[in-house]
Structure 1
Amino acid sequence: MQQNSGGNLPPDNQVNQVTQSGSGIGSHDGSNSHGQDPERSNVTENSVQTGNDQPMQQSSSSISDSGQSAMRRNGSLGLVASAASAFDAAKDIMETLRSKHANLAGELEVLLTEIGSRFVTLPEERLLAVVNALLHRCYKYPTATTAEVPQSLKKELSGVCRACFSADAVNKHVDFVRDYKQDFERDLDPESTTTFPATLSELTERLKHWKNILQSNVEDRFPAVLKLEEESKVLRDFHMVDVEIPGQYFSDQEIAPDHTVKLDRVGADVPIVRRHGSSFRRLTLIGSDGSQRHFIVQTSLTPNARSDERILQLFRVMNQMFDKHKESRRRHICIHTPIIIPVWSQVRMVEDDLMYNTFLEVYENHCARNDREPDLPITYFKEQLNQAISGQISPEAVVDLRLQAYNDITKSLVADGIFSQYMYKTLPSGNHMWAFKKQFAIQLALSSFMSFMLQIGGRSPNKILFAKNTGKIFQTDFHPAYDVNGMIEFSEPVPFRLTRNMQAFFSHFGVEGLIVSAMCAAAQAVVSPKQTQHLWYQLAMFFRDELLSWSWRRPLGMPLAPAAGGGSMNPTDFKHKVTTNVENVIGRISGIAPQCFSEEVK
């Protein structure tokens, strides 16, 4: 399976968040998310700074803090009035909830406080996530492996060493600091001039060594399943009456009060889910009807985390459009939309499937069977391009060199039958395989369609989760990136991910049959005459919120475009950015949508 220049490629801000924040591993800020690409600053797979060792503050005070910070951010956009009114409305809702539903409010606060403070990752797990992020930062640096370690990377390493072994961490995690601090700083702190690696390749090897140590320690020392009675006695003994199982109201059908499923209890076992250097605690919510819903607890979220919730809301609206269109309905086209529950600003719960797997896990499984290092294709590719990076060959020869390196990798390192072999060994019969292929092809077609429609890149293998039993696909960190002008930024040569392994698994019949027809049906459904205007308004709301968030989470060195007028957008410029993005998206959809038949127009 082609690795797309790397296995787990964590985002830049995973490391930046550690180095810029004054808090370290033992701090209270939270750590992890499902993951995003290095070229894009998005939600992280497992940021270092966590702990959440404090209980959650009262909802009203946390809303007050977030509301005031939102007002300050929006002030630069000239939207203070609207932010103030939104804050007042949220405050009114909380006061009404407390006065009219006191028992429900009390139960929710106890539940969220326990989840936000008890189910966080350990210092070793957070350090492993940071080392993994730094390793893949080395892979993506446009520097020859024989060159000196870049100054910017040295600065980040210094910040990581300070943050991971801060005074707070020393006080809270004595054993962790005693076991790791001296050796880690000796190997990776740039201030240790006599022992710090001289070249980028040496630093890469040093980080690999630390990754193996930490991974071995985390897997050997800590149990795979925790017990609720040991992690949170409050949740074990807590009797809930009014709290409902989340996600019941996303369908179009109204739920009768007597059919509402209440939360009965939290499951006794709390498994630890480990994916590509990241660790999550998985909670099982058991309903009054005996049903079970699984959620992983993610902490240390970046501001990009809200984009995940916005994109899922857009997908739910599009699912309604698919259901109203003949061609998409007959193909059972429906985007998989897991539930996301914000717990507080740095913690959220994301619905998880026990059968989830990632493309990267399939590849790593193959490498483990063949006793091969998973990162070998990346290191080989970088070594082959050392001459090109250092400018020793002409630009024309660089293309040939890259092609030659790619061909060598496909022939000897990454075969095109890895995914097919894995699924043939996983599924019990030919009937299961046929059903899986059909559903998986439709889900992949929808993911590809959404990637093309919103120009979302960075689809590395660790970001694509699929359920081995149903074929449903969920992509993490699935939201657009924006340039300095507020327009969608997309620099990848291909519009979506369809690798050699996928082609071999589906064959030409699957690619040119199921995938192509599903993509066309989805495109036709959302730009049909009955839905075009509805889609326009939904996209406008999506981009409005996205650009508001983008305007204050931009990196410090990225100024607004000159048209924004002195560093702040006026309403006319802002409306123009939203409208332009919407028109571009609809134009791309219309370009691949088959023309509607006459009966569709009626």
Structure 2
Amino acid sequence: MIRGSTACYKRLTIRGHDGSLHPFAVQFPAARHCRREERIFQLFRLFNDALGRNVQARRRNIDLTLPIAVPLSPHIRLMSDDEHYTSMLKIYENYCKKKGQNRDEPLAYTIEKLHVAYDPRLPKPDILSVKTEILAAIQTMFVPSTVMKNYFMSHYSKFEDFWLFRKQFSSQYASFLFMTYMLCINSRQPPKIHINQSSGRVWTSEMLPYRVASGKTHTTAFNNSTLDVSAQRAAPLFCSLELVPFRLTPNVQKLIGEAGMEGILSMHMMIIAQCLSDPEYEIEHFLSLFVRDEIITWFTQQHRPASHDPHLREIVRVNVDYVIKRVTQLAHMDSSGQGVASQYILNLISHAVNPRNLASSDTLWMAYF
């Protein structure tokens, strides 16, 4: 019996034919979510095959870390559960326990300051500026940017071992950022990000693309779509509603380091994108199958039969084109000679680390960690 940060579950260990031990967690997830997640795992495993055949990715040992999920019934599955993995939330709770601080202290501080800012006797405040000041205050008083770095440094007795861990973590985090950016996977909160303390591997749970009906939000990526107005009002579209393109909070920045941000992180993201955007690989053939399943799932949740929608093929094509466009932009190299090769990715990183963009995120997103 394992007591986690958000729930208790049972872990069983299976012994392989060679004597190796493989721990699995017994999960009881909602079928409508876990099957979607398993399909996304399968999609990225196909991408792993392409990375394994690419020279640049293989020489840098780049791959996408994905857990093993074994469905046993519609409501029971086994998920690989290595005891060396820890979530970002556990690291934060460990810091609060050592400091003797309530883990909800930053949340209470945020609520208090927002109540003061919204005082009806005062002029209406610039809420984004207020949130930015609150974020800076929390980093100063409650959660410094060195929590994760100090946690992993204490795990290694030699700096050489920590250096290797840091290098592998930077590479793995680049893969994690690529996956979440490519399929518009939002809400990457600390409990969902798992880090292997021994190897530096990173994976995220609840890896589900965010879909929204095109009539509810303005998405410039679909302005040139051939869908008519009636179809657009009911068409599910992949999109990201967060101001940050991916999660790159102060603690993660400090752990990776300035050199790693501009070096390993950005270059590995570009190499993955270049590999998958290669015309010979034909990524659209894989994407069309998985995107179609996501679209049908959305129609099912809306209690509408997808088979009766005459625009299903066109909706799938528009979403696939949008995902491919995002990958192609990451793979684009600056040929003007005025900037570095991965300038587009560096621009995304600058948006992700901007304090105002971080402050605009949801409170449970924990932008300070």
* Counterpart for residue 527 of structure 1: 277
How far 1:373 sits from its partner (Å)? Answer: 0.7
User: In the alignment, does 2:244 pair up with 1:499?
Assistant: no
Name the amino acid aligned to 2:248. Answer: L
Relative to 1, partners in 2 of residues 1:280 and 1:515: Cα closer, same or farther, differing over 3 Å? same
User: In the alignment, does 2:92 pair up with 1:363?
Assistant: yes
User: In the alignment, does 2:71 pair up with 1:342?
Assistant: yes
Name the SS for the 1:337 alignment partner.
Answer: coil
CA distance in 2: counterparts of 1:526 and 1:352, whole angstroms: 29
CA distance in 1: counterparts of 2:70 and 2:31, whole angstroms: 15
* Counterpart for residue 594 of structure 1: 332
Name the SS for the 1:303 alignment partner.
Answer: helix
* Counterpart for residue 323 of structure 2: 585
Relative to 1, partners in 2 of residues 1:596 and 1:386: Cα closer, same or farther, differing over 3 Å? closer
CA distance in 2: counterparts of 1:423 and 1:479, whole angstroms: 29
Relative to 1, partners in 2 of residues 1:307 and 1:394: Cα closer, same or farther, differing over 3 Å? farther
* Counterpart for residue 187 of structure 1: none
Assess if the C-alpha contact under 8 Å between 2:273 and 2:328 holds in 1.
Answer: yes
1:549-577 deviation per Cα after TM superposition (whole angstroms, max 9, x unaligned): 222234x8xxx7xxxxxx86635311111
Name the amino acid aligned to 1:515. Answer: L
User: In the alignment, does 2:231 pair up with 1:513?
Assistant: no
How far 1:284 sits from its partner (Å)? Answer: 0.4
Single out whichever of 391-400 and 430-439 deviates more from structure 2. Answer: 391-400
CA distance in 1: counterparts of 2:313 and 2:113, whole angstroms: 47
Q: Identity over aligned residues, as a percent?
A: 29
TM-score (norm 1): 0.50
CA distance in 2: counterparts of 1:392 and 1:333, whole angstroms: 56
1:344-395 deviation per Cα after TM superposition (whole angstroms, max 9, x unaligned): 1111100111201011101100000010011111121122112566877666
Assess if the C-alpha contact under 8 Å between 1:281 and 1:296 holds in 2.
Answer: yes
User: In the alignment, does 2:23 pair up with 1:294?
Assistant: yes
Name the amino acid aligned to 1:594. Answer: H
User: In the alignment, does 2:153 pair up with 1:415?
Assistant: no
Name the SS for the 1:572 alignment partner.
Answer: coil
CA distance in 1: counterparts of 2:123 and 2:76, whole angstroms: 49
* Counterpart for residue 171 of structure 2: 442
How far 1:433 sits from its partner (Å)? Answer: 0.8
Name the SS for the 2:173 alignment partner.
Answer: helix
Name the amino acid aligned to 1:281. Answer: K
Relative to 1, partners in 2 of residues 1:343 and 1:410: Cα closer, same or farther, differing over 3 Å? same
How far 1:446 sits from its partner (Å)? Answer: 0.6
Which aligned pairs between 1:553-592 and structure 2 lie closer than 5 A?
553-554=301-302, 570-592=308-330
Name the SS for the 2:131 alignment partner.
Answer: helix
Assess if the C-alpha contact under 8 Å between 2:306 and 2:312 holds in 1.
Answer: no
Name the amino acid aligned to 1:386. Answer: H
Name the SS for the 1:530 alignment partner.
Answer: coil
Relative to 1, partners in 2 of residues 1:596 and 1:317: Cα closer, same or farther, differing over 3 Å? farther
CA distance in 2: counterparts of 1:394 and 1:310, whole angstroms: 50
User: In the alignment, does 2:48 pair up with 1:319?
Assistant: yes
* Counterpart for residue 542 of structure 1: 290
Name the amino acid aligned to 1:536. Answer: E
Name the SS for the 2:171 alignment partner.
Answer: helix
Relative to 1, partners in 2 of residues 1:545 and 1:370: Cα closer, same or farther, differing over 3 Å? same
Name the SS for the 2:32 alignment partner.
Answer: coil
CA distance in 2: counterparts of 1:444 and 1:583, whole angstroms: 25
CA distance in 1: counterparts of 2:12 and 2:122, whole angstroms: 55
1:494-522 deviation per Cα after TM superposition (whole angstroms, max 9, x unaligned): 01111111111121111111101100100
Relative to 1, partners in 2 of residues 1:568 and 1:317: Cα closer, same or farther, differing over 3 Å? closer
Name the amino acid aligned to 1:439. Answer: Q
Assess if the C-alpha contact under 8 Å between 1:487 and 1:581 holds in 2.
Answer: yes
Bigger radius of gyration, 1 or 2? 1
How far 1:448 sits from its partner (Å)? Answer: 0.5
Which aligned pairs between 1:424-435 and structure 2 lie closer than 5 A?
424-435=153-164
Relative to 1, partners in 2 of residues 1:452 and 1:395: Cα closer, same or farther, differing over 3 Å? farther
How far 1:530 sits from its partner (Å)? Answer: 1.5
Name the SS for the 2:310 alignment partner.
Answer: helix
Assess if the C-alpha contact under 8 Å between 1:303 and 1:553 holds in 2.
Answer: no
Unaligned runs of 5+ in 1: 1-271, 561-566, 598-602
1:257-299 deviation per Cα after TM superposition (whole angstroms, max 9, x unaligned): xxxxxxxxxxxxxxx2222130111110112221111100001
Relative to 1, partners in 2 of residues 1:428 and 1:487: Cα closer, same or farther, differing over 3 Å? same
Assess if the C-alpha contact under 8 Å between 1:387 and 1:393 holds in 2.
Answer: no
Name the amino acid aligned to 2:299. Answer: S
Single out whichever of 388-397 and 360-369 deviates more from structure 2. Answer: 388-397
Name the amino acid aligned to 1:577. Answer: I
Unaligned runs of 5+ in 2: 214-234, 336-369
Relative to 1, partners in 2 of residues 1:502 and 1:300: Cα closer, same or farther, differing over 3 Å? closer
Assess if the C-alpha contact under 8 Å between 1:455 and 1:489 holds in 2.
Answer: yes
Name the SS for the 2:169 alignment partner.
Answer: helix
How far 1:431 sits from its partner (Å)? Answer: 2.1
* Counterpart for residue 310 of structure 1: 39
Assess if the C-alpha contact under 8 Å between 2:118 and 2:125 holds in 1.
Answer: no
Which aligned pairs between 1:445-484 and structure 2 lie closer than 5 A?
445-484=174-213
Which aligned pairs between 1:149-160 and structure 2 lie closer than 5 A?
none
Relative to 1, partners in 2 of residues 1:551 and 1:387: Cα closer, same or farther, differing over 3 Å? farther
CA distance in 2: counterparts of 1:488 and 1:393, whole angstroms: 40
CA distance in 1: counterparts of 2:192 and 2:296, whole angstroms: 25
CA distance in 2: counterparts of 1:392 and 1:551, whole angstroms: 47
Which aligned pairs between 1:86-485 and structure 2 lie closer than 5 A?
272-386=1-115, 397-484=126-213, 485=235
1:115-145 deviation per Cα after TM superposition (whole angstroms, max 9, x unaligned): xxxxxxxxxxxxxxxxxxxxxxxxxxxxxxx
CA distance in 2: counterparts of 1:394 and 1:473, whole angstroms: 45
Assess if the C-alpha contact under 8 Å between 2:185 and 2:210 holds in 1.
Answer: yes
User: RMSD of the alignment, in Å?
Assistant: 2.1
Equivalenced residue count is 314
Single out whichever of 299-308 and 447-456 deviates more from structure 2. Answer: 299-308
Name the SS for the 2:275 alignment partner.
Answer: helix
How far 1:428 sits from its partner (Å)? Answer: 2.6
CA distance in 2: counterparts of 1:294 and 1:568, whole angstroms: 39
CA distance in 2: counterparts of 1:548 and 1:389, whole angstroms: 43
